[in-house]
Structure 1
Amino acid sequence: MNLNDLKRSAQHNGKSFVNPAALQPQGIGVLPKIISQMLFDKQQPSTPQKPIPVNKITPERLANLPENETIIFKLGHSSLLLWIENEFWLIDPVFSERASPFTFIGPKRFHPTPIDIDALPDIKGVILSHNHYDHLDEASIKQLIGKTELFIAPLGVGATLVQWGVDSNRIREFDWYDSLQIGNISLTATPSQHFSGRGLSDRNQSLWASWVIASSQHKIFFSGDSGYFDGFKQIGEKYGPFDISFIESGAYNTLWPDVHMMPDETVKAFIDLNGGVLVPIHNSTFDLSVHAWYHPLEQVLKYAQDQDVSLLVPQMGSEINLNSLPKLELWWQKLM
């Protein structure tokens, strides 16, 4: 898709993609505060002092999943593996050791992935929320090309995928509210309040999105990255109710309140969405802010209990079967 096509989007102002509401300025002026916090004000432990439990996902385990059921595995951070309508899908797959443009520096993962890409079965589609390094991983995409039929992405992300070797015929780019029916699955890109960019010169040159994934049996919401905004209520009214909602809770900071939610806002967004069961994502894999690594889970638990919200926090590699939901396990408290 060329620049003129991107500019036709209602989310594009002729120079870049924009959010519906103006955000708090995040220019160079806030950088000294961020550096100071990272150096002197990080809550400890910022990384786990004991190994995070990981349930290994084997090819045999995947080959024996029950037909006609919806099963979701948390792989780490915001990466999910879905078994839906008897096909496998990936969301925001990041298998690399670091969420960084470099292999030797940058946020390093706390735990191994539950499965390697080589061990994955054929993938019907990879769904991407935006182009930040902790969601769009070049090494993972390149490894997935040979076993993935489709790549689903917001406007402008396709150009990066093509640069990495993905055939343009296998890419589907979405503006907000675009929908596509693939077999028995309907995919809809929905708004989020965030930004994009992988370097100094491409700020907001591609779109960011949340996703509604609907099958013949279930509706799933995936937030991608977002600050809290009234769009969650609009999404809930238009596409809800949902059976399960994967909503970010992690990497938040009072210095960037508009682009990442605080834990109480995660629960508020879930209620707005009529989200079914809440699964907090964007945590427990990379150190991306100044909070203790377990703080997102403890805080979401507190606010979910206050609001009588159904909560699940699966261990890495454990499965969520939407036809027989597991019980909430407070696994992280054993590591605090």
Structure 2
Amino acid sequence: MGHSTFLWQHLGINLMTDPHLTDRASPLEFIGPKRLNPPAKELRESPSIDFVIISHNHCDHLDRKTVLALKKQQPEKPPYFLVPLGLKSWVADIGITEKVIELDWWQSEQIGQWNFTVVPVQHWSKRVLFDTNKTLWAGWVVRSPDQKLFFAGNTGYSKDFVEIGKHFGPMELSLTPNWAYAPRWFIKDMHVNPEEAVKIHIDNESRQSIGMHWGTFLNLTEEPLLEPPQRLFQELLKQQINPMEFRVLEHGQTLMF
């Protein structure tokens, strides 16, 4: 759907990641990074959402208007909101107090036949001026009876992915960042580059990966717009990995597997 917002449909369940379907990645409507590409779908065009998983509180990953629209659109059957430690209060502050589950790293929650585990990634959090790192940032492993999904949110590279792979691999699907990595001297610890994204694919023993966090917003970092998928393709060839195993989708494109 764009950036880090995906709709995963499996076994009759609809799961949305990092909901952001408005024009800017900002707490203000008139300033901040603007979309290069509109959302692939309006929320009203989407099916009823059962689960929303949130990785952290940065404005390009957690959008207040989109979250409120999700609540308004489904008054009779609101989705579960699964959030990292410290974000439950933010969700409550905007009026959502039911079906909100807050977890620390390595904690899990079982909801019916679905299991959700928060896993460590290397990033940071900040929503307003004085709340730096007051809430947790995280990845998610979602397990259904027959598949495992890894959602990285946003992250630099660390050996956490080796541990995640040991605990949960192989993954049927990994959603991994592939953009906003330049300049490296400034952003290396917080954002993977395409070569590191391939390492995550290997560490997690992913059968299929999708590069995300690319091609949606203008002026987040310095690398040329088309560089990330090109470098990703070259690294896959270098590592002798079939490029079809790690794809970058067009906005609105659907992958069935």
Q: Verify same fold: TM over 0.5.
A: yes
Computing the radius of gyration from Cα coordinates, the structure with the larger value is 1
Gaps of 5+ in 1: 1-74, 323-336
**Aligned positions of 1:1-336 closer than 5 A:** 75-146=1-72, 147=74, 148-167=78-97, 169-253=98-182, 254=184, 255-287=186-218, 288-309=220-241, 310-322=245-257
In 2, are the aligned partners of 1:85 and 1:185 still within 8 Å (CA)? no
Shift of 1:304: 1.3
Work out whether residues 195 and 232 of structure 2, in 8 Å CA contact, stay in contact via their aligned partners in 1: yes
Q: What is the deviation of 1:121? A: 2.4
**Residue identity (%):** 35
Distance 2:148 2:79 in 1: 22
Distance apart, 1:227 and its partner CA: 0.5
Q: CA deviation at 1:306?
A: 1.2
TM-superposed deviation, 1:270: 1.4
Match for residue 49 of structure 1?
none
Distance 1:160 1:131 in 2: 9
Q: Give, in whole Å, the separation in 1 of the partners of 2:85 and 2:15.
A: 20
CA deviations on 1:229-279 (whole Å, 9 max, x unpaired) are 000000000111111111111111211110101211111121111111221
SS of match in other structure, 1:79: coil
Q: Greater shift after overlay, 145-154 or 224-233? A: 145-154
Relative contact order (alpha carbons < 8 A, sep ≥ 6): 1 or 2 greater? Answer: 1
Whether the 8 Å contact between 2:37 and 2:217 is mirrored in structure 1 is no
The one-letter code matched in structure 1 to 2:238 is D
Q: Is the 8 A contact 2:51 2:79 kept in 1?
A: yes
Residue pair 2:180, 2:221 contacting (<8 A) in 1 also: yes
User: When the two structures are aligned, how many residues end up with a matched partner?
Assistant: 247
Q: 1:143-181 deviations in whole A, cap 9, x for unaligned?
A: 1113232100001111111111112x3210010111112
1:120 deviates by: 2.2
Q: CA deviation at 1:84?
A: 1.8
Partners of 1:217 and 1:110 in 2: how far apart? 36
1-structure distance, mates of 2:228, 2:133: 27
C-alpha deviations, 1:189-235, integer Å up to 9, x for none?
11100000111100011001001111112111111111000000000
1:51 aligned partner: none
Q: How many Å separate the matches in 2 of 1:161 and 1:245? A: 26
Q: CA-to-partner distance for each residue in 1:108-162, whole Å, 9 max, x for gaps?
A: 1111212111222221111100000000000000111132321000011111111
Contact 1:221 1:246 in 2 (8 A): yes
- Secondary structure of 1:123's counterpart equals coil
Give the letter aligned to residue 320 of structure 1: L
Rounded to whole Å, the distance in 1 between the matches of 2:225 and 2:45 is 29
**Structure 1 position 105, deviation (Å):** 1.5
Cα deviation code 1:259-311 (max 9, x no counterpart): 10121111112111111122111111013100111111111111112112322
Q: Secondary structure at the match of 1:319?
A: coil
Structure 2 CA distance, aligned partners of 1:84 and 1:278?
A: 16
Distance 2:178 2:203 in 1: 16
1:186 Cα deviation from its structure 2 partner: 1.2
Cα distance in 1 for residues equivalent to 2:45 and 2:239: 40
CA RMSD of aligned residues (A): 1.1
